[in-house]
Amino acid sequence: MSEPLLSQLRAQDAARRTLERALEKSRVHHAYLFAGPDGVGKELAAFGLAQALVCERRGVSEGGLFGDGAPPSFLACGACSACLRAVPREEEQRPVHPDVVVIERGLYAPQTIGRRTPETQDISIDQVRTLVLAHAAYAPHEGRAKVFIVRRVEEMSVPAANALLKTLEEPNARTHFILLTSQPDALLPTILSRTMRVRFAPLPEDVVASLLEAQGIEPVRAREVARLAGGSLETAARLADPDESDARDSFVTRALQAVDAPGLEPLLAVAEEAKKEKDLLRARLAALADALASKASEAARANNARAESFTLQGRIALRAMDHLDSNNAPQLVVEAMLSRMRAI
Ligand SMILES: [Zn+2]
């Protein structure tokens, strides 16, 4: 319970070192951009940094009367009231600490941020105005620091981003921004140039598997989904869901049937459906590649002439994952992939 959030960050040594060093030297930048895939620890690191900045005991010596106690820690204590309140609560997805403010599309009821309609398109200027501009100029409520954490900053509308930029240009002392994104290339150059980038890498498979096991998922299943999750704990957790596991099996079956079908209709149907499932599609393609690889080795063992075509089709599935990663439309990726597989 009292372990500081930053200490819970796994396998992001470079990012963690950067942040801990900044805390140790009291040189925490006023605007960070945490960039990396979703589900690898950006959030945990952001709230960890915020926790350290608002902690009531950090840097306070707990030394004895004659100064013979431990040196003051530059990390959050993890146990004081501020530390506890800096941790986001599950129901609201944000902390109750008044100086740790989360900005996210659709997080607040429209009336809270001075709107009539929900934010379906983007993070609106209304939210930035109400939650950032109205407060950033003032001292923190509780004295130590004020931290704004922006989830998926690439979803900011241009007016919202421009309003935020003004604040980033003239930072107040003890006010910090932590912008989170999995798509740094989609951000305005002005945002990129005014923030200090901290990179977060995909998590190693064994780390994802052990984190899943810690959540109570059985080891065999944890390892299986960790392999498909592309280094994201979030994706892995979704993949471990039994419904998603059925849907993935069904995708693989229907894709293989579409490759062998006489007409193009099944192919178009599989591709059409892929449109709705972008987030999970990558893992489904990986499962398809896996299925083709085992078909290939099965055929090879049986001296079946199809071994080579299965191998080639498996490579096409892997290439489709690359195409998806370079932001091609999911439907087109699946359509092109299945068409190529049929041509073999
Ligand atoms: Zn504390």
Summarize pLDDT for 121-168 with one digit per residue, the tens.
Answer: 899 999 999 999 888 778 888 879 999 999 999 999 999 999 999 888
Return the DSSP state at 94.
Answer: B
CA of 253 to the centre of ligand 1 (A): 52
pLDDT computed for residue 168 by the predictor: 87
CA of 129 to the centre of ligand 1 (A): 30
CA of 283 to the centre of ligand 1 (A): 39
pLDDT computed for residue 238 by the predictor: 87
Model confidence pLDDT, tens digit, residues 277-286: 777 898 899 9
CA of 44 to the centre of ligand 1 (A): 16
pLDDT computed for residue 94 by the predictor: 94
Model confidence pLDDT, tens digit, residues 60-73: 765 555 555 566 68
CA of 87 to the centre of ligand 1 (A): 11
Rounded to whole angstroms, the Cα distance separating 198 from 66 reads: 40
Rounded to whole angstroms, the Cα distance separating 55 from 28 reads: 14
pTM check: above 0.75: yes
Radius of gyration for the chain, computed over Cα atoms and rounded to the nearest angstrom: 24
CA of 81 to the centre of ligand 1 (A): 7
CA of 277 to the centre of ligand 1 (A): 41
Q: How far is CA 178 from CA 14, 43, 206, 332, in A?
A: 17, 10, 28, 35
CA of 128 to the centre of ligand 1 (A): 28
CA angle (137, 139, 141) in 5-degree steps: 125
Query: Which positions ≥6 away from 265 have C-beta within 8 Å?
Result: none
The rounded percent of the chain whose pLDDT value lies above 90 is 73
DSSP 103-125: E-TT-S-GGGGT-SS---SSB-H
Between 70 and 48, the more confident residue is 48
Q: Where are the domains of the chain?
A: 5-199, 241-342
CA of 241 to the centre of ligand 1 (A): 35
Other beta carbons within 10 angstroms of residue 58's beta carbon come to: 22
Per the structure block, which two tokens stand in for 83? 């530390």
Tell me, rounded to whole angstroms, the distance of Cα 285 from its chain centroid.
20
CB 120 within 8 A of CB 148: no
CA of 2 to the centre of ligand 1 (A): 9
| pLDDT of 100 strictly over 80 | yes
pLDDT computed for residue 219 by the predictor: 94
pLDDT computed for residue 138 by the predictor: 80
CA of 58 to the centre of ligand 1 (A): 6
CB 225 within 8 A of CB 239: yes
CA of 30 to the centre of ligand 1 (A): 20
Model confidence pLDDT, tens digit, residues 312-331: 999 999 999 999 888 789 99
Report which of 19, 29, 18 is spatially closest to residue 195, judged by C-alpha positions. Answer: 29
Rounded to whole angstroms, the Cα distance separating 18 from 197 reads: 10
pLDDT band at 170 (very low <50, low <70, confident <90, very high): confident
CA of 325 to the centre of ligand 1 (A): 40
CA of 273 to the centre of ligand 1 (A): 48
Return the DSSP state at 186.
Answer: G
**Mean of per-residue pLDDT scores for the chain:** 91
CA of 76 to the centre of ligand 1 (A): 5
Q: Which CATH superfamily is domain 5-199 in?
A: P-loop containing nucleotide triphosphate hydrolases (3.40.50.300)
